[in-house]
Structure 1
C-alpha cells in the first residue's frame, strides 16, 4: 500500500513539474515577443473575444479569430506526435513537448522573415504579426486541442479536425492546410481563389 501511495505521489510531483515547465515555456514565449517589440494587445487599444473579419487590422490581435481552429488542430497533431515520440511518458511531459513546439512557432511566426513571407505568399497582405495576447491565446488553443485529443477517441478527433478545416475553408477561404501549403509552396490558383478572383 505504501509503495502504491509513493508511486502516486511521484506521478503527481512529475505532473506538477511538467505543468510548471509548460508555464515557463509560455512565459519565455511572452517575454521573447515583448523583446521583439510585439504589441501586448491590438493597436486599436481594446480587446475583443472574437475577431471575425480576416482582412482587418484586428485579425491576429484579439483573443480568438478564424485561425484559432488551426491552433486547436495543432494540439491534435502534437498529441499524436507526443504519443509516438514519448510513448509511456506522462501526459504532462507530452504536453510540455507540444508547448515547446507551439511556442517556438509563435516566436518564429512573428519574426520579420516569416511576416514578410505571409505577406508575399498568402492572402494575408495586411498581416503585421500577432499581438502578444493573440499569440498567447493561440498557444492555449493548442493546449486545449491537445487535451481534447487525449480524451476523445481518435476517430472523433480526426472528424473534428476535418470539420474545422472544411468549415474555415468554406467560410474564410483559409485553414491550416492552405496556410502551410501557401507558406511552403505558394500556388497562384489557390491565392486567386482565396482572394475571391
Structure 2
C-alpha cells in the first residue's frame, strides 16, 4: 500500500526543511510567508505614523553596531540586542508549539511575527521609551529606527525557524549562551531587560551604567 501523503501543515520530521520545486520552503506555504510579510509592513507603517525615522538620522545603514550607549544603537540591522530578539523567536516557537501544536505551522509563525511586531510598535511608544530612560541604564534611548524594528522582527523569525529545526535542548543551550555572553559583554541581556522594565533594581542600574 502506498504511503499516505503527509498534510501540508503536518509537523515535519526533526531537521527537515521541506523542498518544493527546487526551493526550500522551511515548512511554510507561500500564503503564510505573505501573511507574515503583511504584518511586518503594517508594523512599519504604524511606526512611520508614530514619527519614527525610516533609517538612522546619520543617513547610513550599517550591518552591525557594537556601541551600546552610542547614537547608532537600535538604529541599524544588528547590534548587541539582536540575540534577545532571536531568543524571542525561541520562546514564541516553544510556547506556540505547546499551546497550538495541532494548528498549522504557518499560523503559529504568523502569530509570532504579530506578537513581535506588536512589541516593536509598543516599544517605540512614549510610555516605553520613557520607561527605558527612567528604569534602565539606557539614559539616551530615543526609540528605534523603522529598519531596526523590521530587522528585529526578522531576527525573531530566524529564531523561530531555527528552534523548529534543532529541537529543544540545543535551542535552550544557544539561548543560555546568548544570555551569558551579552551579560558578560554589555552587562545586559533579555532577562535583565525584562527585570529592569518591570521591577527596576538600583544596584543593577548602577552596575550597568558603570560599563
Asked if these proteins are the same fold (TM beyond 0.5), I'd say yes
The structure with more helix, counted as a fraction of residues: 1
TM-score calculated relative to the size of structure 1: 0.93
* Paired residues of 1:123 and 1:194 also in contact (CA < 8 A): yes
| Structure 2 CA distance for aligned equivalents of residues 108 and 25 of structure 1 | 15
TM-score calculated relative to the size of structure 2: 0.87
Matched, 1:147 2:197: no
State the match for 1:59 in structure 2.
73
Matched, 1:181 2:207: no
Shift of 1:8: 4.6
State the match for 1:129 in structure 2.
143
Matched, 1:90 2:120: no
| Structure 2 CA distance for aligned equivalents of residues 118 and 52 of structure 1 | 19
State the match for 2:36 in structure 1.
22
State the match for 1:119 in structure 2.
133
| Structure 1 CA distance for aligned equivalents of residues 200 and 100 of structure 2 | 34
Shift of 1:17: 2.1
Query: Number of aligned pairs?
Result: 194
Gaps of 5+ in 1: none
Q: Supply the RMSD in Å over aligned alpha carbons.
A: 2.1
Gaps of 5+ in 2: 10-19, 21-27
| Structure 2 CA distance for aligned equivalents of residues 153 and 29 of structure 1 | 30
Moved over 3 A (4+): none
Shift of 1:18: 2.0
Shift of 1:134: 0.3
Alignment counterpart, residue 43 of structure 1, candidates 57, 74, 78: 57
